[in-house]
Structures are given as C-alpha cells and as structure tokens.
A = this chain, B = another copy of it.
Amino acid sequence: MKALVYHGPGARSWDTVDDPTILDPTDAIVRIDTSTICGTDLHILKGDVPETVPGTVLGHEAVGTVQEVGAGVTTVVPGDRVLLSCVSSCGRCRYCKEGRYGQCLGGGGWIFGHLIDGLQAEYARVPFADNSVYKVPERLSDEQVLFLADILPTSFEVGVLNGMVTPGDVVAIVGAGPIGLAAILTARLYTPGRIVAIDLADSRLASAQRFGADTMINNSDGDPVAQVMELTDGLGADVAFEAVGVPQTFELATELIRPGGRVANIGVHGQSATLHLETLWTRDVTITTGLVDTYSIPQLMKLIASGRLDPSLFATHRFPLGETMDAYDTFSDAASSGALKVVLQGGNASSSVVEAEQIATVA
C-alpha cells in the first residue's frame, strides 16, 4: 500500500510499504477513507518528538472501513465505517477504566503515527479496536466526523471541560489557531456570555470571529489584560484557555482570570513557564493540564448528528489521499494558505456538496 512515511527530521515521502496485518487478537485492519494532518505531525517532522523513529507512517486522525478483525474483537465487523481516535485505549488498565485513555498503561494512549504506524495511509492496523474506534452513523459524512479524531475532543476535554465553562462565563482564549478555534466552537455548547479571542494575527482573529468569538483582541498592539478587565468590571475572565504552547501565553492566561477563575492549558509546551505564585496564591485559581482522552467522542458525535455542532468550518482544503505530500505543503504554510485543516480523501471518502459550498463561503 501507499503511505506517508517519516524519514527523520525534515524528511517525508509518499512510499509503498507493506500492507498491515493483524498482530494481536484485539487488532483490526481498517481501510482509510478520509484522513487529515495535525500540527503534531509537523512537530515530528521538525524532530521535536524523538521517540518517533524514521520509517514510521504518520497520521493519527481518520475515518475508515473495517476490513478484518482479530479473534478477540467483538464490537465491530468488516464493513463497519468507523472513526479512528488519535488515542487508543486498552480498556483494562486503571486509567482506561477512569476514562483517561490518554494515560493508558496497557499499551494504548497516543500511539498512531508516533509509536506505531499511523493513518495517513491506505490501510492501518488498529490496536484495541473494541475500545478505540467509534461507529459512524450512516447519515453523517466522513468529513462531518473526521475532526472528532483529535482536535474537537482535545479542545473540549482539555479546555472546555477541564476549565468548567458555565453558562454566562466570560471565556478568554489565548491563541486562535485550529485548537483555539475548536475551543471556541465547543465552549459554545455551554453558552458562555462572552468569548474573547486573543492572538497576534488578525487573520486568525477573523477566523475566531467566524467560529463564534464575541471580542477579538490583537495582543501585538494592545493590552489584553486591561481589555479583559474592562469587560469584566475589573475582575477578570471566568476561564482562560492557553492554546499556543509558549511560556508567554501561559503566563498571560494566568493574568487574565478573576479570583476563583480557571486556566485550562491546551497547548503543547517545550519549555517551562513562570508561575507567579506571589500574586496567584491568594486568588483561588485552578490550573489544569491534560492530554486528550477522546472519551467525549460519542457525546460530540451525537451533537454533530443532531445539528448542534458543526465542525465543517475547519475543512479549508481537500486533497486526494495520493496527494498527501502536497497537502503537507499547504498545511505547513497556513500563514499564506489560510489552511485550518486539510482533508485527505481516499477513493471511498464520503462527503456532500452542501459542505463543499459551505467551505467555499468560508475560505
């Protein structure tokens, strides 16, 4: 089969590799119908993720069709259309039993395109299939559910739920890239009173507005703390999300919140930050970090099915799966391409004309 293979820092190619086969009785083999690229894939290509060895097929987000299942798989059968979660769950360890699949001690967690071959490929071996894939209702297209593989549950679980967004809250989101936008979209499920997006780029703030932010602050030319204080009678935001991954934005998030407020870190960090305990110790703050578990996929899928959540705005570009190399170029150059998420379509991808039109309006 063909797949996007990592060959060490800076090196990727669309190669012919061996077809995957069942290795464990809990495995399934899935044909990839629709896939996508994540910022984390770019991190791997930069060499930031040393545990990913050259030769690994990248990708951890896909919708596909089950081809074959191991002897121990009981809940899916060949022919089932399924969403593949970026996080695998053994279903048996203490963390999986608590719904904390991202911390799986039994061989799961984030393994696709990281520790084992991933999902930017024609086929994939899917470990722990019973606990790691989700059947897709027939009336939903691949694209409607694709972003449930990672970005939507990441922002919802690690941001919105950890941050305990409550109706009426002022929610400040530091960083309006795809993760920040997904935080805006899923925060709205709890009807905040005001969503404030903060970013350095006007283009990203324009996206934030399209996704539902109420107030956009460009912090290259303003004082976001002062502006948030002005909006909140001098108290601060109820919740702030860090959605960038650098110390400055984390520190900003801790300054934006009111006494009793919450900071939910969603960003991926490579450095430590300064925690201003000399002021924060009296302010009753809660700070959370987290890996996505994707336990919320069934809930979010119901919301998409009922029309309450529409992730179609993310799909700014589409490529045939065979043009994954080009898709990487477009996604890597988001500043000029405006790419949020690029959709990789295998020969059997399902999608609808209506959605394509929506995308046209947005792009």
Interfacial chain B residues near A283, Cβ < 8 Å: 103, 289, 291
Contact flag A272-B276 (CB < 8 Å), given A72-B26, A92-B130, A287-B286: yes
Q: CB within 8 Å of B: which of A73-104?
A: 74-75, 90-92, 94-95, 97-100, 102-103
- Interface contact A303-B99, CB-CB below 8 Å: no
In this complex, the interface size class of chain A, counting residues with CB under 8 Å from chain B, is: 35 or more
Asked if A347 is at the interface (CB within 8 A of a chain B CB), the reply is: no
Asked if A361 is at the interface (CB within 8 A of a chain B CB), the reply is: no
- Interface contact B94-A298, CB-CB below 8 Å: yes
Asked if A43 is at the interface (CB within 8 A of a chain B CB), the reply is: no
Additional 15 contacts, C-beta under 8 A, given A247-B277, A272-B276, A282-B291: A25-B72, A74-B92, A91-B91, A91-B130, A92-B130, A97-B295, A167-B303, A168-B302, A190-B191, A193-B308, A214-B306, A245-B281, A269-B277, A273-B277, A285-B288
Residues of A within 8 A of B (CB): 25-26, 70-72, 74-75, 90-92, 94-95, 97-100, 102-103, 106, 130-131, 162, 166-168, 188-191, 193-194, 214, 245, 247, 250, 259-260, 265, 267-278, 280-291, 295, 298-300, 302-303, 305-306, 308-309
Closest 7 CB pairs of A and B: A72-B72, A269-B277, A275-B275, A167-B189, A193-B306, A168-B302, A189-B191
Contact flag A74-B106 (CB < 8 Å), given A190-B191, A193-B308, A268-B281: yes
Closest CB in chain B relative to A43 CB, distance in Å: 13
The closest CB in chain B to the CB of A186 belongs to: B167
Contact flag A92-B131 (CB < 8 Å), given A102-B284, A189-B190: yes
Interfacial chain B residues near A271, Cβ < 8 Å: 277-278
Interfacial chain B residues near A106, Cβ < 8 Å: 74-75
Closest CB in chain B relative to A141 CB, distance in Å: 18
- Interface contact B289-A282, CB-CB below 8 Å: yes
The closest CB in chain B to the CB of A280 belongs to: B289
The closest CB in chain B to the CB of A191 belongs to: B189
Interfacial chain B residues near A272, Cβ < 8 Å: 274-278
Closest CB in chain B relative to A95 CB, distance in Å: 7
Bound: A305/B95 CA distance, A: 21
Sample 28 A-B pairs with CB under 8 A, ordered by A number: A71-B71, A74-B92, A91-B92, A91-B131, A92-B131, A99-B99, A100-B259, A102-B282, A103-B260, A166-B299, A167-B190, A167-B299, A167-B308, A168-B299, A188-B191, A189-B190, A191-B308, A193-B302, A193-B306, A245-B281, A268-B281, A271-B277, A272-B277, A272-B278, A274-B274, A281-B289, A284-B288, A287-B287
Interfacial chain B residues near A90, Cβ < 8 Å: 74
Bound: A303/B267 CA distance, A: 29
Interfacial chain B residues near A245, Cβ < 8 Å: 281
Bound: A250/B191 CA distance, A: 29
The closest CB in chain B to the CB of A308 belongs to: B191
Interface centre among A70, A91, A291 (most CB of B within 10 A): A91
The closest CB in chain B to the CB of A156 belongs to: B167
Bound: A260/B96 CA distance, A: 12
Bound: A247/B290 CA distance, A: 23
Bound: A272/B276 CA distance, A: 4
Interfacial chain B residues near A188, Cβ < 8 Å: 191
Bound: A288/B191 CA distance, A: 24
- Interface contact A303-B259, CB-CB below 8 Å: no
Bound: A276/B287 CA distance, A: 13
